[in-house]
A and B are shown apart, each in its own frame.
Chain A
Amino acid sequence: MRLYLAVGCGAAIGSLLRFLSGILIVSVMGLSALWATSFVNVVGSFVIGLFAALTAPDGRLLVSPAGRQFVMGGICGGFTTFSAMSLDTFILLLQGDIPLAGLYLVLVIAFSLVAAWVGHILAMRINR
């Protein structure tokens, strides 16, 4: 029950941060919504990679299981979105822009994976 609440509250905060990032990137900076989705996914993946390794059993930070779920399952999970990314890609496909659809999906996933890895490596250095 505690874990469910931790994830729910974290996801609410993460989702709001994603919503506000979207407004900032699209309405204020004038970039396409594809950039907003790319940004949240890459940043959220970096944070989860960093935080997971920092709070691992041999990590430097001691955080309770509920605290870990709040940040990782909650904030990072709520901040990032696979559904919007999939819909973006599908709309590009519908519009017939197959190269951009493929490039977008592959690049966002690749950069997100690399970001999680960079976060992990950074945390391992801090842990030493």
Chain B
Amino acid sequence: MTLQGCTLVLLGGFFGGIARFFVSGFVGRRIGETFPWGTLVVNVSGACVIGILAGLAQSRGGIFSGEMFRDLAFVGFLGGYTTVSSFCLQTLNLALDGEGLQAALSAILSAGLCIAAVGAGFSAAVRLLV
């Protein structure tokens, strides 16, 4: 644990949180807020980017596999950008409101699309960008 690592995580987390608030608010206002589309878009896009970065870390190495980049981008920005807590709260609220089907859909879509997005981002970075 270094001061540099902590600073990079703070910085990345700050901007990641702001980006999440902007994207989820933007999507929510456009599509509606009953189903948590905003959080879903945040988590799927964050999963895609982390897949791309992990692919670059593996295929290109260099700065992408360095500790500074990991602390700033992976732990800080993407960790701060994506969220399990909002996903859980919104999914729980759907279930408590008697929308069990939508709650199940939220959980299944989030899990399935995020894994697919990591895979797509990773494959793209490994195969197409090199």
**Which residues does A use to contact B, with CB under 8 Å?**
3-4, 7-16, 18-20, 22-23, 27, 41, 44-45, 47-49, 52, 69, 72-74, 76-87, 89-91, 93, 105-106, 108-109, 112-113, 115-117, 120
A107 → B minimal CB distance (Å): 11
CB-CB under 8 A for A79 and B6, given A12-B11, A73-B20, A90-B118? no
A45-B80 Cα distance, complex, nearest whole Å: 14
Q: Which of B10, B46, B86 sits near A76, CB closer than 8 Å?
A: B86
Interface residues of chain B: helix, strand, loop or mixed (majority): helix
B117 touches A78 (CB 8 A): no
Contact B78 A19 (CB under 8 A): no
Taken together as a complex, chains A and B put the C-alpha atoms of A22 and B70 apart, in Å, by: 13
DSSP class of A's interface residues: helix, strand, loop or mixed? helix
Partner of A116 from B6, B88, B110, B114 at Cβ < 8 Å: B88
Interface residues of B in 92-130 (CB under 8 A from A): 92, 96, 107, 110-111, 114-115, 117-119, 122
- Residues B89 and A52 in contact, CB atoms below 8 Å apart: yes
CB distance from A124 to the nearest CB of B (A): 10
Nearest-Cβ distance from residue A4 to partner chain B, whole angstroms: 5
Number of A-B contacts (CB under 8 A): 190
Inside 8 A of B83's CB, which chain A residues have their CB?
Answer: 76-78, 80-82
Could you tell me the distance in whole angstroms from the C-beta of A105 to the nearest C-beta in chain B?
6
Bound complex: CA A106 to CA B88 (Å) = 13
B86 & A9 in contact (Cβ 8 Å cutoff) = no
The answer to whether the Cβ of B75 comes within 8 Å of any Cβ in the partner chain is: yes
Q: Is B74 an interface residue (CB 8 A)?
A: yes
| Of A12, A15, A89, most B-chain CB atoms within 10 Å | A15
Residue of B nearest to A45 (CB): B88
Q: In this assembly, does B36 line the interface, its C-beta being within 8 Å of a C-beta of chain A?
A: no
**A55–B60 alpha-carbon span in the complex (Å):** 47
